Amino acid sequence: MSSKRDVLITEVALRDGSHAIAHQYTVDQVTRVAKALDEANVPYIEVSHGDGLAGSSLQYGLSRTNEMELIEAAVAVCKQAKIAILLLPGIGTIEELKEAANLGVKMARIATHVTEADVSAQHIAKSKELGLETVGFLMMSHMAPTETLVEQAKLMESYGADVVYVVDSAGALLPHEARERIRALKQHLQIDIGFHGHNNLSLAMANTLVAIEEGATRIDGSVRCLGAGAGNTQTEVLVSVLDRLGIATGIDIYKMMDLAEEIVAPILQAPQEITRDSLVLGYAGVYSSFLLHAKRAAKTFNIDSRDILIELGKRKVVGGQEDMIVDVAAEIAKRNLEAAVR
């Protein structure tokens, strides 16, 4: 396998995939997945709670295992892959960032809502000071016009980010919208551009390929589609497609296929597919990590989870507002009851 890489892939199943299994990763699971990814020559592996460092909470979901233990385990078994973490300012702090760096993390991805890049300045600066490769991660990128996205990305660049990502957190972007956003960032930024997709409208691969066509060189994938909602761009499929296109990733295709089938598939609580709920996430433009929360609330209030997700989309709820899910569910249940009484 050539060491040349035209595109650098970050595997996110050990972070984004945490949402899909209700943050129940064990040290053994993370060790086996990280070791196999490292042996497949994946350059970056992201490990943390689904909502980033310090995400374990009643609001976002309690982790089975302390994420620092998971990070330490991944670092210990990787010989070439660099371990990355996600941090959302307001959830994770500088202290967690320092702790992760001390454990051997090499890349920090600092994530904000697409219109709130200004809250990342301190964390991006500290990440650079700690010697970490630093990524600006603009979530829910479908919710802002392209001009706004460019302004926010330029802020992250000015704070010192090495890369800025267009993040399709809801899996709501259509290919022409992904193309427009990546093209604009490529025109206005001097740093690398990345793309993180979700497959809620079955467009993760199409959007990823469009992003690469427009100059994105940092791409996220989740092996076996193990990510929030319907998952992310499926890594082993992406690597195969890029190889067919003559775009080098440096990743061993057979080893990716094998680890997807033999190591990751048994971790999945159910196959990652586009269910009616995950489809509604993309259709309504709702944060992919809301899926399990909405399904639980629907069961509690005996209502249709799709009604909850559609209402959240209408209210333009964003990551960090998980508490709204139960509020919305309660309102819908009350409305249904009143209608039935009438």
276 within some domain: no
**264-279: b or e for each residue (b if 16 or more CB lie within 10 Å)?**
beebeeeebebbebbb
Domain that holds residue 72: 8-267
Helix H or strand E encompassing 323: helix 323-341
Do 190 and 316 sit in the same domain of this protein?
no
283 inside domain: no
Query: Looking at the structure, do residues 239 and 100 belong to the same domain, yes or no?
Result: yes
Report, in angstroms and rounded to the nearest whole number, the Rg of the chain calculated over CA atoms. Answer: 19
Query: What pLDDT does residue 3 have?
Result: 62
Domain boundary among 236, 267, 298: 267
| Residue ranges of the binding site | 15-16, 169, 196, 198, 287
Residue 65 backbone phi and psi in degrees, to 5: -125, 140
Is there a contact between 165 and 137 (Cβ–Cβ < 8 Å)? yes
Predicted local confidence at residue 338, as pLDDT: 86
Look at the block and give the residue holding tokens 């995950």: 278
Backbone angles phi, psi at 286, to 5 degrees: -105, 140
E strand or H helix at 336, and its extent? helix 323-341
Do residue 33 and residue 168 come from a single domain? Answer: yes
End-to-end CA separation in angstroms for the chain: 69
Q: Are residues 173 and 296 in the same domain?
A: no
Query: Would 153 be classed as within a structural domain?
Result: yes
Q: How far apart are CA 334 and CA 311, in angstroms?
A: 14
Q: For position 56, what pLDDT does the model report?
A: 77
Query: Which residues are catalytic, by number?
Result: 19
150 and 256 inside one domain = yes
Query: Which residues of the chain fall below pLDDT 50?
Result: 1-2
pLDDT at 321: 82
DSSP code, position 251 = -
- Helix, strand, coil: what percent of the chain each, to 5? 50, 15, 35
> What's the pLDDT at 1?
43
Residues placed in the known binding site for substrate: 15-16, 169, 196, 287
pLDDT in tens, 286-332: 988 888 889 999 999 999 999 999 999 999 888 778 888 999 999 99
- The three state secondary structure string of 37-63 is HHHCCCCEEECCCCCCCCCCECCCECC
Tell me how far the alpha carbon of residue 207 is from its chain's centroid: 15
CA–CA distance, 291 with 116 (Å, rounded to integer): 23
**Location of structure tokens 């899996």:** 171
- The CATH number covering residue 130 comes to 3.20.20.70
What residues are designated binding site for Mn(2+)? Answer: 16, 196, 198
Asked if the structure places residue 256 within a domain, the reply is yes
Question: Taken in order 287, 293, 299, 301, is the CA torsion positive or negative?
Answer: negative
Instruction: Please choose, from the candidates 266, 265, 200, 210, the residue with its C-alpha nearest in 3D space to the C-alpha of residue 241.
Output: 210
CATH code assigned at 294? 1.10.8.60
